[in-house]
Amino acid sequence: MAMKLYGDEMSACVARVLLCLHEKNTEFELVPVNLFACHHKLPSFLSMNPFGKVPALQDDDLTLFESRAITAYIAEKHREKGTNLTRHEDSKEAAIVKLWSEVEAHHFNPAISAVIHQLIVVPLQGESPNAAIVEENLENLGKILDVYEERLGKTKYLAGDTYTLADLHHVPYTYYFMKTSHAGLINDRPNVKAWWEDLCSRPAFLKVSPGLTVAPTTN
């Protein structure tokens, strides 16, 4: 039976999982969850994720939530299929993948998601962005991207010379960020720009990107 992914394609966190599924050439079913109608707050969805956020994944008797936990599961379960996203055959290389995945989760994502929320989500709610929050997080993001610029001057991808989960996890929010007036933070750093252009040219991304049409929700 194919895995079932519950969520909306526009969600950056759902897109993160969709990218992984396509990279692994894995059969799945996307079960739509209407975020605007708050279907992620219904008891039927809360039974899968008590925090009421997308995505959720069902694979037989296993239910998972949190997008990075889901991608790690998919990459491990289907380690012999598609793109090698974890470098599992070498413990040191696998550790570097986990390291840069942690950097994305604890440094990059908090900054970029705060900017996206203010510039895209808040206006959709009929409110004005908080300029102070935007400025603070753009400053933080710039410092993080300076570290990336140095790293990507040494390796093609964050965890080495092959594409892994450490890169994949960055893609959806960066895609939304590049739609803002602050895309120069990426474009003005040549190594980061080349990395991003590589990421968004991958076949998996080209399958997922049409769904990234409205503001994301976070998880």
Question: How confident is the model over 68-118, as pLDDT tens digits?
Answer: 999 999 999 999 999 999 999 999 999 999 999 999 999 999 999 999 999
Integer angstrom CA distances of residue 105 from 45, 49, 94, 108, 153: 24, 20, 17, 6, 22
164 and 86 in contact (C-beta within 8 Å)?
yes
d(C-alpha 111, C-alpha 133), whole Å: 10
Per-residue pLDDT band for 213 (boundaries 50, 70, 90) equals confident
53-64 pLDDT, tens digit each: 999 999 999 999
The CA distance from 4 to 56, in Å, is 8
Phi first, then psi, for residue 91 (nearest 5°) are -60, -35
Average pLDDT, the chain: 95
Reply yes or no on domain 91-203 having CATH 1.20.1050.10: yes
Tell whether the model's pLDDT for residue 216 goes beyond 50: no
Strands 28-32, 56-59: pairing is unpaired
CA–CA separation, 171 vs 152, rounded Å? 16
Q: In what order do the strands lie in the sheet with 3-7?
A: 28-32, 3-7, 56-59, 62-65
> Residue length, the chain?
219
pLDDT value of position 124:
85
Homologous superfamily, domain 3-84+207-211: Glutaredoxin (3.40.30.10)
Whether residue 6 is predicted with pLDDT greater than 50 in this model: the reply is yes
Structure tokens at 21: 């599924």
Read off the pLDDT of each residue in 180-189 and give the average, rounded to a whole number: 97
Q: With cut-offs at 50, 70 and 90, classify the pLDDT of residue 125.
A: confident
Q: Hey, where are the domains in the chain?
A: 3-84+207-211, 91-203
Q: Show contacts of 76-82: CB within 8 Å, 24+ apart.
A: 78/24, 78/26, 81/24, 81/25, 81/26, 82/23, 82/24, 82/25, 82/26
